[in-house]
Structure 1
Amino acid sequence: MTFNVKKYLPDFTSEEDVKKSFRNNLRDYFKCRHVSIVSNGTAAIEVALKALGLKRGTGVIVPDISFIATATAVANCGLLPVYADVSEQYFGLTLETVKAKYTEEIGAVVLVHFAGYINREIFEIKKFCEEKGIYLVEDCAQVFVCSINGKKAGTIGDIGTFSLQTSKIVNCGEGGIITTNSEELGRKIESISNWGLYISEEDRDLSLPSSNYRLSAYQCYFAQKQLDMLEEIIDERLNRISEFEELCQKYSLETANPPKQPNIVDCPFFFVLKNATKIHTLAPVGEYPMRNSVLVRSILSFNPDLLEKYIRLNGDIHSERASDRLVKQNDFINIHQSYATSCEEMLEKYKQIEYAI
């Protein structure tokens, strides 16, 4: 018996057409030269780093606050995460903290737009990277629709990476997107994610460290459906944010969300509560800030020389930083509807724990 996908997805054409259409629509949306679609957001970072061709053991500056995949992706590529502190105002890297961690052993910066807020100093950091001749990769997992000065997140650095995991603005369960305006990098990214293939069997590059990072056509199909209704998704998300703000006023909860700016389009991924009773909303617990990560050390432990260099490049990890204060003094609540049926339900846990509210 032959399975007929059109019985369940009547407008599904062919796998090739669905993937090609989704990729082209993403290219139009981001207004960039090249888009690749991969299996998940972590894979997107790994493929992006492999495309840079950095030498084994090269340092890569990452923010101390991010989901741990940012650092593990670096380590799994044979590179070394070097943790820079973040702004307490918008949770991302600053030019000052990047400069503080830069040495001749650094080959790239992975700038994370955290919590749905685009990095306020990205242009200054980009200029610094250009001056030093190092790459800038944007981790845009939480900022699909965000922009600054009319430039969409993921199109400012050399490469941008996105996640299509369930909690994200556009999602298909799991998936990833890689954007670039470099023809050379775009070609490498596509080849690395698909067994060396660029466009056809005749155009294969086996000199690249390629594998199967492909996203299935069925995942592309569902992600495209969400891309088609993006305005509706954003409106719903913004309504939930407004509901959160009203509830916080009602319960006298202080928020720590970055202030709105006229040249910036944010779309909060987390709603940040200041000095709240800690309920460990940043997971996995113990991996924040990332410089404390056990997982990264576990990955590097298979290469003792890399682990030794990793420890040296990061120096003293015990002195308090802004990243420590952010984790200790704030709760980051994911506002995606899959995490609770209502904002009231999300804040109910605070009412149960903190009777002063």
Structure 2
Amino acid sequence: MDYNIPLFDLNYDDKEENAVLDVLRSKWISTGPKSQELEEMFCEYFKVEHAVSLTNCTVALHLAMEVLGLQEGDEVICPSLTFVATANAIRYVGAKPVFADIKSEETLTIDPEHIKKLITDKTKAIVVMHYAGFACEMDEILSIARENNLKVIEDACHGPLSEFKDKKLGTIGDVGCFSFFSNKNLSTGEGGMLLTNNRELAEKAKLMRSHGMTTMSYNRAKGHSTSYDVVALGYNYRMDDIRASLGIVQLGKLPEDLEKRSKVRFAYERALESVNNIKVPFKNHPYFSSNYIFPIVLSENVEKSRDEIRDLLHKSGIQTSIHYPPVHLFDIYYDEKERGLSKTESVYNRLITLPMYGKLAEEKVDYICKKLKEYAV
């Protein structure tokens, strides 16, 4: 189906085209100077010591588990209202994801109080996901982690340049992970970044991303080294310079785009302010957000189902989505002992993601909200 108002619109122009052409003409298209430049930009923009460019956010999460020493038999607390990669990465190292509930309909991030109830002597880490680019309650979560000697991994795939107090998301815990998937705020098709202020963790991640090799191909091609050793069982998780060149342009555009997204969110909030049957999560959130998506939660009093309303919106030319089906309900994770996330399950059944991008015109926001008012009665 062709939509008059898509869920997302790629923020690309000739700058991205020219960046790719420059890399192609350089004759060096794998990991090299552009990947390094993107890492340096991240360090500057995010005020963090170390950045490691990678093929995607899933492998960033996997490497976070690896470099923090998580292993078989460990338990890692994470949200269920997230993309499945958050939990999959825990299983990659043999550990067990333990799913926590969200705080409420108003706050769709992991509940610190539920985290406390889930801690056992096997718990080794907490993974938070900053839903829609809105910060989790990091002071409480860090306090819990310190009290129980736990590591904290931030899945910040929704939150490039989002903030918690005076810090960027992804720089607060032990390791932060970012996604550059095609529909993210910063888009390179595929790609990701791992951030940390710990030099040892960064060096481990760099080693593991390239087969455990002591030097990279670009170093050898430029005569900085003529041989290499393999000192660890690593992976091929390297980003290439073609995608890195896109990331450089996209990161440069990001601050302006996020300001536009803030205005789109304000337009939505204003248009839906008097609609009793629709709740807008994260209203009056105190910190800057990337506004990666715009979720709404239908009231339990709405006569039509969530899926019926989505279908009507689609027939009106408006694309929607659901972020996300709870991970603990998937067959691969289904376990009766891990059910009982009542708030997550209740919200999921009433959750709709509306279009959100910087170029979304206010009249289109008004049209979306007009249709919602017609259907959500």
Shorter chain as normaliser: what TM range?
Answer: 0.7 to 0.9
Which one-letter code corresponds to 1:9 in the other structure? L
Kept in 1, the 8 Å contact 2:99–2:338? The answer is no
Counterpart in 2 of 1:272? 295
Shift of 1:207: 4.8
Structure 2 counterpart SS, 1:325: helix
State the distance in 2 between where 1:7 and 1:225 align.
8
Counterpart in 1 of 2:328? 291
Q: Which moved more, 1:183-192 or 1:201-210?
A: 201-210
State the distance in 2 between where 1:154 and 1:217 align.
23
Kept in 2, the 8 Å contact 1:72–1:295? The answer is no
Counterpart in 2 of 1:172? 188
State the distance in 1 between where 2:87 and 2:366 align.
34
Counterpart in 1 of 2:21? 9
Shift of 1:108: 1.0
Structure 1 counterpart SS, 2:103: coil
RCO higher in structure (CA 8 A, sep ≥6): 2
State the distance in 2 between where 1:283 and 1:37 align.
29
Structure 2 counterpart SS, 1:9: helix
Return closer, same or farther for 1:113/1:54 CA change in 2, 3 Å cut-off: same
Taking only aligned residues, the RMSD between alpha carbons, in angstroms, comes to 3.0
Counterpart among 241, 248, 260 of residue 224 in structure 1: 248
1:323 aligns with 2:323: no
Counterpart in 2 of 1:304? none
Counterpart among 211, 228, 234 of residue 195 in structure 1: 211
Which one-letter code corresponds to 1:209 in the other structure? L
- Percent of pairs identical after alignment? 24
Shift of 1:127: 2.1
1:222-255 Cα shifts (integer Å, max 9, x gaps): 1111111222211322232233234435877633
1:9-29 Cα shifts (integer Å, max 9, x gaps): 247755522111111111111
Listed as ranges, the matches of 1:1-357 within 5 Å are 9-10=21-22, 14-15=28-29, 16-88=32-104, 89-119=106-136, 121-197=137-213, 200=216, 206-249=230-273, 254-262=278-286, 264-275=287-298, 277-279=305-307, 283=322, 288-296=325-333, 315-317=337-339, 319=340, 321-336=342-357, 342-343=364-365, 350=372, 354=375, 356=377
State the distance in 2 between where 1:257 and 1:236 align.
19
State the distance in 2 between where 1:346 and 1:288 align.
23
Shift of 1:212: 0.5
| TM-score, length of structure 2 as denominator length | 0.78
Structure 2 counterpart SS, 1:215: coil
1:232-284 Cα shifts (integer Å, max 9, x gaps): 2113222322332344358776332213244x212322222231651375558
Kept in 1, the 8 Å contact 2:269–2:280? The answer is no
1:166-190 Cα shifts (integer Å, max 9, x gaps): 1211111111110001111111111
Kept in 1, the 8 Å contact 2:80–2:344? The answer is yes
For these two proteins, the number of residue pairs brought into alignment is: 331
Which one-letter code corresponds to 1:165 in the other structure? F
1:22-41 Cα shifts (integer Å, max 9, x gaps): 11111111111111111111
Extract unaligned runs of 5+ from structure 1: 298-310
Shift of 1:325: 1.9
